[in-house]
Amino acid sequence: MSDALFEFLCRMGDNTLVLGHRISEWCGVAPVLEEDIALANTALDLIGQTQLWLGLAGEVEDKGRDADRLAFHRDVWDFRNLLLVEQPNGDFGRTMMRQFLFDGWHLAQLKGLMGSDNDQIAAIAEKSVKEVTYHHERATDTVIGLGDGTEESHKRMQAALDRLYPYVGEMFISDAVDEEMVSAGIAPDPASLRPGYDAMLDAVLTEATLQKPADDFAHKGGKSGARHTEHLGHMLTQMQWLQRAYPDATW
């Protein structure tokens, strides 16, 4: 049980860690100052959530690893994040599309976790859900604004959706870890979140005048750790470089 719980908490924490780092890559180079600050705020929210998830994961594992240790001393095959969040930023439109696709799932997942039988998980979810509600609202507005914007912005948002949609399915695939979480009353069944997500997606994409790809093919292997895309390893060389060059350095 504690193995599966550790695995589950790493999935939650690695999602927020990897996406938080990805968004932080925009710091100082976003198209406008207001979006730059907003993205940095989102990144900080996600890194804050990471500290809670991975901190709890370390406690559950009980091998003396804290959140920092888990974030900076694991290599790519130990990461349990969704493939979606490790995808490169691309242009601003693609970054916001990725954010929107993830936030929709993230919000539903956190709302489910608020009713978790595990009090610590419910408390983390309750704190996070306020932040993520705002992330989702902001990303939704941007997807609609750019999708239903100019010819150029529409084209880019459609291209972003076409590229990222194959990574949506992984969020709703259940495996043995999920089954154990469901039967222990800890987390909702991923598949149960899909209808609500699809309804949300369809409504927003219609308003954004974007076309959902017909093919439901889903890449997988991120949250199980079986096969990440090539991008995660490159990202970790940046994110972890200090601990790799100077192991256990502190300040």
**What does the binding site for other proteins look like in residue numbers (CB under 8 A)?**
32-34, 37-38, 41, 134, 137-138, 141, 145
Nearest approach, Cβ of residue 34 and other proteins (Å): 4
Helix, strand, coil in percent for the chain, rounding step 5: 70, 0, 30
Which one, 176 or 203, has the nearer CB to other proteins? 203
Which one, 141 or 175, has the nearer CB to other proteins? 141
Tokens 């490159």 label which residue? 234
Nearest approach, Cβ of residue 128 and other proteins (Å): 18
Beta-carbon contacts of residue 222 (< 8 Å; ≥ 6 apart): 79, 80, 81, 82, 83, 84, 86, 170, 228, 229
CA dihedral 73, 75, 76, 82 (to 10 degrees): -30
| Alpha carbon 76 to chain centroid, angstroms | 16
Q: Which H helix or E strand runs over 6?
A: helix 2-24
Which one, 87 or 140, has the nearer CB to other proteins? 140
Which one, 35 or 180, has the nearer CB to other proteins? 35
First CA to last CA across the chain, in angstroms? 36
Token reading at 97: 């599309």
Which one, 40 or 114, has the nearer CB to other proteins? 40
Nearest approach, Cβ of residue 156 and other proteins (Å): 15
Beta-carbon contacts of residue 219 (< 8 Å; ≥ 6 apart): 83, 166, 167, 169, 170, 229
Which one, 150 or 250, has the nearer CB to other proteins? 150
Which one, 32 or 214, has the nearer CB to other proteins? 32
Tokens 């998830």 label which residue? 53
Nearest approach, Cβ of residue 32 and other proteins (Å): 6
Tokens 């199980």 label which residue? 224
Nearest approach, Cβ of residue 114 and other proteins (Å): 23
Nearest approach, Cβ of residue 132 and other proteins (Å): 15
Nearest approach, Cβ of residue 44 and other proteins (Å): 9
CA dihedral 145, 148, 154, 157 (to 10 degrees): 50
Residue 29 and residue 148: Cα distance in Å, rounded? Answer: 24
Give the single-character DSSP code of 91. Answer: S
